[in-house]
Chain A
Amino acid sequence: MTTDFPTGEVGVRFQSLPVVEGQLFRFEQTRLRVLADVVSKTFETFSKSELDLLLGEALYSERFRLKRERANLFTRTRYKADKALWSKVQDGLLESSVAVDRKALLRSVIKHYAEEIGGHFDPRVYRFATHAVPWGMNWLLNAASVQRFLPWGMTESLASRLDVIGEVSMLQRLAHRGTILLVPTHQSNIDSVLIGYLIYLMSLPPFSYGAGLNLFSNPVLSFFMSRLGAYTVDRKKNNGIYKEALKNYSVRILREGVHSIFFPGGGRSRSGAIESKLKLGLLGTGLEAQLQNLRVGAEKPNVYIVPMVMSYHFVLEASSLIEDYLAEAGKHRFIITDDESWDPRKVLNFFWKLFSSQSGITSRIGRPMDIFGNFVDEDGQSIGPNGTTIEPVRWLTTCGELKAEPQRDHEYTRELGAKIVQGFHEGNTVLTSHLVAFSFFEALRKKYPELDLYRFLRLSVAQRSMPYFEFLTHAETFYQIVRNAADRGQLFMSKSFETSDIRTWVKDGIQNLGLLHDAAVVKVVDDVVWTEDMNLLYYYRNRLCGYGFSLLSEAGGGLGGQPGKIDSKGFLA
């Protein structure tokens, strides 16, 4: 279902939509109460715990973290405050519990965390950002675009390059009926900026979201984010107290009616594939918020989960991400702090390439769901099988009582996670570049079926090429496979495929694929197709894994796919 939402061709110059105010606009007035609630709620959770042990463990992991962390000019204050707090805890723990109250210690730790997590919202900054940033972008766009040669000058706008399709009107409607939890796929740090802008374009009130603490070390980003409702998430703090406080904060702002964004995959997709394993802890906060709302009889208790899939022809950080994936560096996954997305020139280059290539970014809003993963109708009612309506209160009642049941709620959230993964795959818009990368990669693999992933990625330059016509036949085959899948509703294909000549879309795909990178991901020279970077090719190819499109028998031979499955040769199937 598409909507009347202004996308694509509209492109009004300096288009400025009215800012829609939402709960976040009133956030500053409630902020202190929210934080106080987070502190007391978190404190309550640990009321029965062995406090010496709890604090001791937290102290150990925090000391460890602080030892390895390097503070810069902008993070020094926070670093020092952290250090002071944990020195105090250490001193306190060395005293007897009579002399130093453990509860007071715990409370001060939670308070410290809550203050760090809690964001701010400044309506003035929001107005500025929604107008000035796009203005700058539009200026860049028009400078980069070939259309600048046209006599009427600046005709393009950022909005015209952002295509939002899918259940937009439903999302707009549901935003008035409950709290939205937007769960997008995550490929690039640019995602959060773009999504923030898309939300404004969709005439939705601003959303809150968790941003990695490392983003705040950049003064410009920090200025904006900390005033636009972002709260900080520090993945390096892995102690129980912090996690509980973070979870409670997210529950609390959802209960406040603040729409939120979670990247349910936890971080950016390293492999380039659509997320298949989600962080259920964070996802479960939706259920928890709704349950607490229902218990106190809130006016709009419902939380709606809305998947969103972003499709890029090129991803700024692709090479760092795929390298990290291939190194299987699970342990230091979250500590890429200096990848391309921090270099302003690279970011500028990204947008320059985006605008000059005439290509855009497609995002699709998926069908909204309730906290259990049931689809909801336009009125926000959960749809059950056989024309039934599901009342969440009933599903959350156990033994006649409406209350939290950790095992049950975890199970509900697990199923919600599975539904989101399914929604991601079904809402994926295949771009021409994705199919080019996939076809070429699989065609090469067919030539060397005995190689495992790591040997395959080390093919020599001569080995990783093939005649153009041969590649075309493969592209045609995979086009048909993907088209059939699209007809079955397993995914979508972009408009660029609507051409009778296969060469047209293949050309479009090759042009756009990884346009940003120094190395050509797929290149045609003298009727020979080859790649300069196997890792990047693998990265872009992975966008189409999980559907069972591969024809190789190792990958199941086209017998349907399973997201996240790895075949016997180590490739994402």
Chain B
Amino acid sequence: MVNPEKSIPKDFWRNSKIAVIGGGSFGTVLANLAAKNCQEVRLWVRNEDSARAINATRMNSRYLPNYTLHSNVSALSALDRVFEGGLDAVIWCLPSSSCREQAKRIAPYFNGNEVVLHATKGVEAGTLKRISELLREELPTRRIGVLSGPNLAEEIAAGKPAATTVASVFAEVAQAGELLLASEQFRIYRESDVIGVELAGTLKNILAIAAGALDALQLGWNARAMLITRGLAEIVRFGVAMGAKESTFLSLAGVGDLLATCSSSLSRNYQVGYRLAQGEHLSQILDDLEATAEGVTTTHSVWRYAQIHDIEMPITESVSALLTHRKKITEILQDLFEKRQPR
């Protein structure tokens, strides 16, 4: 039986105009995915030259060479043009470090009926606020959700199959995410535990750094499996303390994302760990990377919070030591193995 109620949102989103804020690799991929399901996608990039380049070549060559953009996508750098005529949804793909500042700038352009879906896997440094909390504080809308999962942009761009999770306390936001982004190669699962989905996506970056380090030292599969399992236990502990549901960590946004990030050399956080273990200096690595490695700031913020609130996180502690070059990697491993069994 066809439910006439159901087709209203479908038709609505098919005719909608949306914006993607942030023209990094994942932002570009999401813009392209959404382009197939709506009328117009405006991709906001910070500088005018790259906007022009993207529109001229129909490609975001800096992040994703050889990935042709859908004809519905246009890149813009002026915010008033992005929001011209009103938007129906905003997909937020900025690095966590610039979220607050950009949200403040963008807030006045909002009408209030927009649905916001963010794909930032990080937390605000220092305050440890989740991105949905931060956006709620800055944007004049409450219909905010999160998108997170094992989504290496390069693979999705290559047309390989993938799935992701969208979560929001507002059912319509998750529904919008599904109707806008789903395709034959990209499957959407709806979740309701926003805290869990956001934290899982954030915390796994810490483990990705550790996984890179282990691989650089060629410690083998056993060590990797150990890291992922014990690491999962650790991030679940932290997540639950922050109000997440334990089961969320078993979803695509949790284990799913963890497995993809820890096993793939495509992950930037993995690369950071890999090169650190080879003895390079952090500042050097970050300079080389084209984009942000969220795990670096996340590790520091999480470790500080865990210390204050007495949450046992030995792997995070180790990664923090590695990132600050407080200890040599051999010492860190030694410490980890000598550590007393947590209950």
Contacts and interface: CB of A to CB of B under 8 A. Distances in A.
A45 B152 CA distance: 48
Interface string A394-413: 11011111000101100110
Interface in B146-191: 169-172
Interface string B13-56: 10000000000000000000000000000000000000000000
A25 B13 CA distance: 48
Nearest to A396: B113
B111 A394 contact: yes
Contacts of B112: 384, 390-391, 394-395
B293 interface: no
A387 B172 contact: no
A401 to B, nearest CB: 8
A387 B108 contact: yes
Contacts of B113: 394-395, 397
B266 to A, nearest CB: 36
B314 interface: no
A391 B113 CA distance: 9
Interface centre among A372, A398, A399, by most chain B C-beta atoms within 10 angstroms, is A399
A499 B285 CA distance: 62
A372 B108 CA distance: 19
Interface in A490-535: none
A409 to B, nearest CB: 10
Interface residues of A, number: 22
A385 interface: yes
A87 B9 CA distance: 46
A319 to B, nearest CB: 37
A544 B137 CA distance: 28
A386 B171 contact: no
A398 B172 contact: yes
Given A394-B112, A408-B172, A412-B142, A386 B8 contact: no
Interface residues of B, number: 23
A400 B16 CA distance: 10
B139 A411 contact: no
Contacts of A390: 112, 140
Contacts of A49: none
B171 to A, nearest CB: 5
Nearest to A412: B142
A323 interface: no
Interface string A74-111: 00000000000000000000000000000000000000
A386 B108 contact: yes
B172 A384 contact: no
Nearest to B9: A399
A385 B107 contact: yes
A399 B16 CA distance: 9
Contacts of B107: 384-388
Nearest to B168: A411
Contact of B140 (A385, A398, A399): A385
B138 interface: yes
Contact of A399 (B12, B111, B139, B169): B12
Contact of B12 (A385, A400, A405): A400
A410 to B, nearest CB: 10
A386 B137 CA distance: 9
Given A384-B112, A390-B112, A395 B12 contact: no
A384 B140 contact: yes
A405 B172 contact: yes
B343 to A, nearest CB: 19
Contacts of A115: none
Nearest to B309: A559
A415 B108 contact: no
B111 A415 contact: no
B325 interface: no
Contacts of B88: 400
Given A384-B112, A394-B111, A394-B112, A399 B172 contact: yes
Contacts of A391: 111-112
Interface centre among A386, A394, A411, by most chain B C-beta atoms within 10 angstroms, is A386
A263 B101 CA distance: 40
Interface centre among B113, B140, B142, B172, by most chain A C-beta atoms within 10 angstroms, is B140
20 contacts: A372-B142, A384-B107, A385-B107, A385-B137, A385-B139, A386-B108, A386-B138, A388-B108, A391-B112, A395-B112, A397-B113, A399-B13, A399-B172, A400-B12, A405-B172, A407-B170, A407-B172, A408-B172, A412-B142, A415-B142
State the 3 A-B residue pairs at the shortest beta-carbon distance, nearest first.
A384-B140, A394-B112, A386-B107
Given A408-B170, A408-B171, 8 more contacts: A385-B138, A386-B107, A387-B107, A389-B140, A395-B112, A397-B113, A398-B172, A399-B9
Interface of A: 372, 384-391, 394-395, 397-401, 405, 407-408, 411-412, 415
